[in-house]
Structure 1
Amino acid sequence: MAPIQIAAQWTEGRQCPLGLDARSPRFSWSFGASPKHARKQTAYRIVVGTTENGSDAWDSGVIRSAAHTSIKYEGAALQPRQRYYWRVTVWDEAGEPAESPTAWWETGQLSESGWTGRWIGEPEAHAEEQGMPQFRREFRLSGPFRRARAYISGLGHYELRLNGSRVGEYELDPGWTNYDKTVQYTVYDVTSLLQQGENAVGISLGNGFFHVPGGRYTKFKDSFGHPRCRMDLVVEHEDGRTETIGTDGSWTVSASPLTFSCIYGGEDYDARLEQAGWDQPGYAEDARWSPAAEVEAPEGRLLAQPAPPLKVMRRFALTGVTQPKPGTYVLDLGQNFSGWPEISVSGPAGAQIKLIPAEILTEDGLANQKWSGAPYELNYTLKGDGVEVWRPRFTYYGFRYVQLEGAAPVGQAGAGAVSGLPVLHAIIGQMIYPDTPVVGGFRSSDEMLNRIHEVIDWAILSNMKSVFTDCPHREKLGWLEQVHLLGPSILFNYDVEALFGKVLDDIADAQTEDGLVPTTAPEYVVFKEPWQMFRDATAWGGTYVLTAWEVLQRYGSGALLERHYDGMKRYIDYLTSSADGLIIRGGLGDWYDIGPEGPGFAQNTPVPLAETAIYYGLTVVMGRIASLLGHSDEADVFASLAASIKEAFNGEYFDSGKRMYAEGSDAALAMPLAIGLAPEEHRAHLLESLVRNIAGRDYQTTAGDIGHRYVLLALSRAGRSDVIYRMTRTTDKPGYGYMIANGATTLTEAWDGPTVGKSQNHFMLGHIEEWLYSSLAGLDYRFRPEAGRMEVIVKPDMANDLAWAEAWYDLRAGRASVRWERGEGGSITLAAEIPVNADGLIYVPAEAADKVRGGGTSSELLRFKDGYAVYRTGSGSYTFTSRLQESMTR
């Protein structure tokens, strides 16, 4: 029998990361598929060294354990700017060893004392002049070198250049943070860009969120200071010497061609101001250059960027051109997304081209920024040198259309040398999001469901940046409720362990002294009275607790729970101290539900009901976290508090005579059911009332941003996916089907977004993605801390009209998958893959246990209940066939 195989390795949730400031990083590994069933890890040994086959940093020794996630490094003190290699040997159930490939990570600067370079900026006399700054320095390298790294932070964002070439593919670096608390830097391998002899380095800056000057549209106008940068370029020579070229007063600075830079308002670029060769050695500086100033450091601590960088990940070609009025063209890229257009143009020097991106068009066919923040524009002034290629560097927007002024697309009348009008030769839409692996997929026989899955995915990607924004244009703020409500939806598709860690660090930085967790992090906009509800809402602040718990359940990593436990406790204390008789009276409640007043403030459900239900759920989870971390006394306190909240909640909102919560809205019924507040003896009636509500509106729910996920959870956990499925079929009332039928290419802000307006690219209502994977296809999973392993739950809740559905996910143990399909005469085939070192719990739909075939000797029938034969399995591939009576399907 072949030993088990290691498939992938992670350090701090990333594979071979370049630049970590973690002093005790966590290791995880997954397993390759095995044809044999019930394969397990029984022991492991981790070896870490400063050479590829070395062990001089740490040898864990043989640990008898199935654990393979979040194993803490406990070796020698890590040194800055050092590459460490690690490998793991695992032993299987037969005692056979298998060794992993060698993985690595590199440490960053680790501390302030590791830096040589100073923060530099423009001299004070020039700081308010038009044009963003660009910095340069020439240096000489004598003798051969083996390795070179650039450690750089440029605020708000930067572009690094060496010897005439751009360094790397990262966009909008560093990630945005509360710069008074945390500033991030990035690490690049620049070995191949340097040369013996003369070299030149250049840095261009944009304002980003560090400095929002206004002048056009802004969500907020504020500043942490003027743009500045810091870099250490560290070169290791073959003879053992280390040479550092750091930023300081020996650098020079001039205005760049970027004459306007605003993360909200756009960019202006005058190509006539380009200085050819400024980023190459031998450039002759003129009067435009002056010595750079050494400036004060930002207040925040400088840390290596922990999350994957943004990159241009997808590109969109032109699909159509219209001319709604003379001289104005509208270019259609076919898909709403977030990023920027890249243009190829030619024309005379000084000609100006204006680009106005937009999600939708006016009745006249022009770009419409009414709901996405106006004015946002991109202006390019030509230098008159053949075909010029340009795109913005330090701003982005959500759009599908680009209104073109000052030029004509190639082939259009009026373009060209005779008229003097510049020619647009090409336009490409460039979409940016983190370079994070795709780890899951869903498909079914129903194209409506597939399309819903796709538009939610587009919305997730459009709003996944260095924070999770609600929309990629009007706000670009990290509204927090989506992170926990949509957390499973995100996790089923993308590996975001490191990014979720960054979000929690942002929350910690945003938490106030009294324990409040604001609704956005970083908190750039502080909402004050009378708009306090936009700052203090439990479903938003509760992300601090619920996301850390979700990371444990999905990735098997308790590191975030340990790091943020005290902060999470302070938030629960804040809620308790601000509650009125354990009822949270303020907040936003079920934001953006469907009611007579149009989308916005909650209309159907009392705000305190929704806020207090979340408060209860947070307290229950905190009890579990405290118990897991060994704080048994505090776990008892949280359990007692949760019981008291439950009593107060039901006393205020549950009418036992009517068996109803409040006025019986969808959210009012579903949240107590899903969160565990509803009395057991009344649950069946409450569920019936919820189903009756939805069916009475022809299978439409009125729940909004907060309540909708709990509607889906209440229905799916009760086996009523038939109701959810019918909800997706409705196309004449606001909902998912309505969005698709009315042309949405991304998830919209409002249920009737394509017709009512608002943002056309939000992901706050995408909760059904979780149902597609975990209920309809039937693939879910949880980490079991007591076992140190994952448990994969396969339990399809089949919609009657569906012929088949499938889903797969690369969890930390390896690939899990499911596919079920209907055959003739009520037959069902269910195929599932359980990864090595994971346990399986497979629910096979059947009319009786004796109607099930397959599974083999490695599957144990536990019980037959509620139309499922339930099997316990180990790892491996399993196929079951069964038969369903027609009466068992809805």
Structure 2
Amino acid sequence: MEWYAKWIKPQTDTGDVCPLFQKYFFLEKPVKTARLFITALGTYEAVLNGSRVGEFVLAPGWTSYEKRLQYQAYDITNLLEKDNHISVTVGKGWYRSPMPGWSKSSVQEELKKSPAGLLAQLEITYEDGSVEYTVTDETWTFTESPVRFSEIYDGEIYDASMECGSSSAGSGSRDYGSAKPVCAFEGPTHTLIPQQGEEIREQERLTPICIFTTPKGEVVADFGQDITGYVEINLTAKAGETVELSHAEVLDKEGCFYTENYRTAKAQYLYICRDGQQSYKPKLTFFGFRYIRIDQFPGGTSAAKPENFTAVVIHSAMRRTGYFNCSNPLLNQLFDNVIWGQKGNFVDVPTDCPQRDERLGWTGDAQVFIRTACMNYDAEKFYTKWLADMMADQGPDGRVGHVIPDLLSEEPASSAWGDAAAICPWELYLAYGNKELLSSQFTLMKKWISYISTHTETEYLWTGGTHYGDWLGLDAPSGSYKGSTREDFIASAFYAYSTSLVIKAGKVLGEDVAEYEELYTKIVAAFRTAYPEYKTQTECILAAHFHLAEDCRAAADQLATMIKECGVKLQTGFVGTPYILHVLSDYGYSELAYSLLLRKEYPSWLYPVTKGATTIWEHWDGIMPDGNFWSADMNSFNHYAYGSVADWIYSVAGGIRRIPEFPGYEKVKIAPVPDERLDWLSVTLDTRHGKIYSGWKRAGNVWRYEITTPVDAVVVIDGKEQQVTKGTYLFYSEIERA
């Protein structure tokens, strides 16, 4: 891409007001094709002759801006007229908003100093073959836009009363006051890359299920679902009247509006009306919410009606590929919550949560969920872009940050978080079979192993350092967010696991991995010497799942005993929970795994469902049995990590299992594991090679299995393997009863 455009900015600083850049141009010849190439330092919305350009909201997306800034290319041929007007509003977005709100970030502090910059280039090819460019330069102008304020955490203010009519050039364009000069500046050019990730788009629209008044007299609309997006308002009003909305995920136990868990994020928007019928939705920011409080409304808040509000769901434009259904309504709701949790947190970056003053691409959350994510949706393009940012942000010594983009670059790496550098590329390869993608990320993987090897206090283990441990483990000592599993144990276990993945990736790529094989052997030996005994559920899980124990079955037996002794409850956190059901079912405890999955009392996956959850919670008891909240400062109700349980549902309960030698489901193993507490269950995966279906149901004293495979498969029923070619098959087996 050859750029003739210049970066432009307002000649005078507009403060919190978003500038509106404008250009008029005239076409004298018939146009064959026209494209707009554009990006900004912030989020932008481009309008050509009164029509929005493209469907990408929050463009140009969120990347590691110091190293990578995406630009977009739009076909605008059908939007052109003889007289044309293009306008672009630029907000702060992720680029220049104050974030993260809960912690200082020197990276973000530098970005905030950047101007509201715009780079745009219209490439117009005429019917006679000639090409003309209209580019950002000093001939453009700007005005203050009606967007008076827009930031990621705090929301948006829009003054529609500024809309004072249409100008003569270009239908639907608006005049917002006297045009002011722009100036060119040395904006980023060497960091520009074409659009790599999925576009963020509007996906669904929800109407309120009700509007009610709380015991405090607040007027609240309930959309019935915790989402990520914004509210579109539709009303008739007089100029100067206002609509002010606040956002929340939950109500408190008295049924009142609750926002403490948003911490410092204001999550509000204010709309100042013009005369007449009008509609508006935020242009340059987003919110995480289920409820809105109507703080101001023309005629008083009691005048607000459900038809005045529509919740617009946004997320990266991924294609749904995984489906589940069963005879248990609570389990169906759990799976629905997993899907909504992914949609709400896959807004260009796999964030931890979409609502509070955080919304960061936490690597630990990403690595525990990526297998599930790639079953639920075709997420290859989404993760390819994010992993490219991880590679860009990886330190010269191999360090990988807690979050990507790495706004917390001063902090040392943590095990199980930084290990996303090895786990995510390998999981992406197994899901889609893209060897070129794995090759592009192999250096990232190797450098991470080098980081661990040079930042440990004990050779062949990872000891010392600062780690998150088994984050939010239920066996945490009083006053700690970390579980009781030894941090050095976790770090050393992941050191071994990540090294094993480098070996596997290297063999796929034909690389010499002899040194890593030797390193892995020494890590395992050192681990077994240092940790001959396991003290927590998570320690048993990691020792068995990563095949580090001298006797993995004994570790699994110990885990099963621990679970039973505490009342058939898990005590794990972010590190142990994703693997707990797998370890149980791998070593003959499938019934116990189902007992954990189907448990309704706290702590369990279904407990939040019984409390009305519509997404996955950060804490098992975000809302406790007595109706109080777990905490005010760290209590997200849309936090997808524990939704990783869905991969066990797909691959064990439903039985659709990957074969590593045949990545991308080129060949599969189908080994469903039924349970008498369910009457029937089915899963579907739409893979690169077609749709795989696996379902089972009870028929008297017999299990009836139906399997459809588009590829050759190994089917395992009652421990008996048989090879099948593509097609649909029925199998039967006796129900075993104790």
Distance 1:444 1:873 in 2: 25
Residues 880 and 269 from structure 1, CA distance in 2 versus in 1: closer, same or farther, beyond 3 angstroms? same
Task: Give the superposition deviation at 1:436.
Answer: 1.3
- Cα deviation, 1:770-797, whole Å, max 9, x if unaligned, reads 0110000111224636x99712110011
Question: Who is 1:324 aligned against?
Answer: 214
Mapped to 2, the partners of 1:212 and 1:311 lie a distance apart of: 21
**CA separation in 1, counterparts of 2:226 and 2:588?**
35
Q: CA deviation at 1:166?
A: 0.9
- Determine which of 521, 525, 541 is the counterpart of 1:670: 541
SS at match of 1:525: coil
Contact 2:335 2:646 in 1 (8 A): yes
Given candidates 777, 796, 806, the residue that maps to 2:672 is 796
- C-alpha offsets along residues 357-388 of structure 1, whole Å, 9 cap, x if unaligned? 01122456443221123341433343331122
Per the TM alignment, residue 425 of structure 1 is displaced from its structure 2 partner at its CA by: 5.3
State the 1:155 CA deviation.
2.2
1:595 to 475, 485, 510: 475
**Partner of 1:222 in structure 2?**
109
1:431 to 308, 313, 318: 313
Change (3 A) 1:270 1:628: same
Deviation at 1:596, TM superposition (A): 5.6
- Against the structure 1 CA distance between its residues 285 and 754, is the aligned structure 2 distance closer, same or farther, given a 3 Å change threshold? closer
Match of 1:524 among 407, 420, 423: 407
Instruction: For residue 476 of structure 1, report the CA deviation from its aligned partner.
Output: 1.0
Q: What amino acid maps onto 1:143 in structure 2?
A: K
Whether contact under 8 Å (2:682, 2:694) holds in the other structure is yes
Per-residue CA deviations over 1:167-210 (Å, capped at 9, x if unaligned) read 12211111101211000011212111112x21111111110111
Secondary structure of the 1:881 match is: strand
Partner of residue 393, structure 2: 510
After superposition, where does 1:500-649 map in structure 2 within 5 Å? 500-526=383-409, 528=410, 532=411, 535-581=412-458, 582-585=460-463, 586=465, 587-595=467-475, 597=477, 601-632=481-512, 635-649=513-527
**Aligned mates of 1:171, 1:188 — CA distance in 2:** 13
Q: TM-score, normalised by structure 1?
A: 0.78
**Counterpart-to-counterpart distance in 2, 1:644 and 1:149:** 57
Alignment equivalent of 1:695, drawn from 544, 559, 564? 564
Structure 1 residues 723, 574: closer, same or farther in 2, change over 3 A?
same
Structure 2 residues without counterparts, runs of 5 or longer: 625-629
Aligned pairs for 1:322-361 (under 5 A) are 322-324=212-214, 328-361=218-251
- Show the counterpart of 1:841: 714
Structure 1's unaligned 5+ residue stretches are: 1-108, 416-421, 655-659, 846-867
Matched, 1:812 2:688: yes
Quick one: which of 459, 465, 479 aligns to 2:362?
Answer: 479
Tell me which moved more, 809-818 or 274-283.
274-283
1:250 is displaced (CA, Å) by 0.9
Q: Deviations over 1:526-581 (max 9, x none)?
A: 3x5xxx4xx41121111111111112111110122221222321111110111122
- Give the 3-state SS of the residue equivalent to 2:667 in structure 1: strand
- Return closer, same or farther for 1:606/1:214 CA change in 2, 3 Å cut-off: closer
CA displacement 1:291-335 (0-9 Å, x = unmatched):
221122126611111121111111221112222378741111111
C-alpha contact 1:784 1:790 (8 A) present in aligned 2: no
Equivalent AA in structure 2 for residue 358 of structure 1 = A
- Give the letter aligned to residue 121 of structure 1: K
Alignment of 1:166-185 (within 5 A): 166-185=52-71
**Count of aligned pairs:** 721
**Where does residue 42 of structure 1 map in the other structure?**
none
- What is the rounded CA distance, in whole Å, between the counterparts of 1:284 and 1:189 in structure 2? 23
Alignment of 1:123-162 (within 5 A): 123=11, 126-162=12-48
Contact 2:137-2:184 within 8 A present in 1 as well:
yes
Q: How far apart, in 2, do the equivalents of 1:215 and 1:467 lie?
A: 15
CA distance in 2, matches of 1:877, 1:783: 23
- How far residue 404 of structure 1 moved from its aligned partner, in angstroms, is 0.9
**Distance in 2 of aligned mates of 1:325 and 1:834:** 55
In the TM superposition, what whole-angstrom CA distance separates every residue of 1:406-431 from its partner, at most 9, and x where no partner exists?
Answer: 22689x75x4xxxxxx8885111111
* Counterparts in 2 of 1:600 and 1:507: CA distance versus 1, 3 Å: farther
- Identify if the C-alpha distance between structure 1 residues 299 and 116 changes in structure 2 by more than 3 Å, giving closer, same or farther: closer
In the alignment, the residues of structure 1 paired with residue 481 and residue 400 of structure 2 have an alpha-carbon distance, to the nearest angstrom, of 21
Counterpart of 1:828 in structure 2 is: 703
Alpha-carbon distance change, 834 to 343 in structure 1, aligned in 2, over 3 angstroms: same
User: Residue in 2 aligned with 1:201?
Assistant: 86
1:277 aligns with 2:170: no
The yes-or-no answer on 1:740 pairing with 2:609 is yes
Partner residue, 1:749: 618
> Is 2:5 aligned against 1:117?
yes
Conserved 8 A contact 1:183-1:301? yes
* AA partner of residue 441 (structure 1): Y
2:7–2:117 Cα contact (<8 Å) kept: yes
5 Å-filtered alignment, 1:170-319, equals 170-195=56-81, 197-213=82-98, 222-224=109-111, 225-277=114-166, 280-281=169-170, 288-298=178-188, 301-319=191-209
Bigger Rg, structure 1 or 2: 1
Alpha-carbon separation, structure 1, partners of 2:390 and 2:636: 25
- Aligned to 1:676, the other structure's residue is in SS state coil
For 2:188 and 2:389, locate their aligned partners in 1 and report how far apart those are by CA, in whole Å: 16
1:686 maps to a residue whose letter is A
Structure 1 CA distance for aligned equivalents of residues 610 and 566 of structure 2: 18
> Distance in 1 between the 2:216 and 2:597 partners?
43
Aligned residue in 1 for 2:627: none
C-alpha contact 2:207 2:306 (8 A) present in aligned 1 = no
Report SS of the residue matched to 2:335. Answer: helix
The SS at the match of 1:753 is coil
The equivalent position to 1:878 in structure 2, one of 699, 712, 729, is: 729
Deviations 1:505-533 (A, max 9, x none): 1101111121101111101233x5xxx4x
| CA distance 1:447–1:379, change in 2 (3 Å) | closer
Hey, what's the Cα distance between the residues in 1 that align with 2:47 and 2:480? 46
Tell me if the contact between 2:163 and 2:175 (Cα under 8 Å) persists in the aligned partners.
Answer: no
- The one-letter amino acid of 1:653's match is Y
Alpha carbons of 1:381 and 1:187: their partners in 2 closer, same or farther (altered >3 Å)? Answer: same
| Change over 3 Å in CA distance of 1:182–1:776 after alignment to 2 | same
TM-score, length basis structure 2: 0.93
Q: How far apart, CA to CA, are the structure 1 residues paired with 2:581 and 2:449?
A: 26
CA displacement at 1:501 relative to structure 2: 0.5
- What's the offset of the Cα at 1:280? 4.6
Aligned to 1:34: none
* Larger fraction in helix: 2
User: What amino acid is the match of 1:359?
Assistant: E
Shift of 1:885: 3.9
2:338 is equivalent to residue 449 of structure 1: no
Counterpart check, 1:650 vs 2:528 = yes
Distance 2:417 2:484 in 1: 19
- Given candidates 632, 641, 658, the residue that maps to 1:781 is 658
In 1, Cα distance between equivalents of 2:253 and 2:330: 28
Kindly report the root-mean-square deviation, in angstroms, between the aligned alpha carbons of the 2 structures. 2.4
Q: Do the aligned residues in 1 keep the contact of 2:242 with 2:298 (CA within 8 Å)?
A: no
Closer/same/farther in 2, CA of residues 442 and 802 from structure 1, 3 Å limit: same
Decide whether aligned partners of structure 1 residues 783 and 689 sit closer, same or farther in structure 2, where only a CA change above 3 A counts.
Answer: closer
Identity %: 28
Q: Distance in 1 between matches of 2:408 and 2:249?
A: 24
Superposed counterparts of 1:2-151, under 5 Å: 109=1, 114-123=2-11, 126-151=12-37
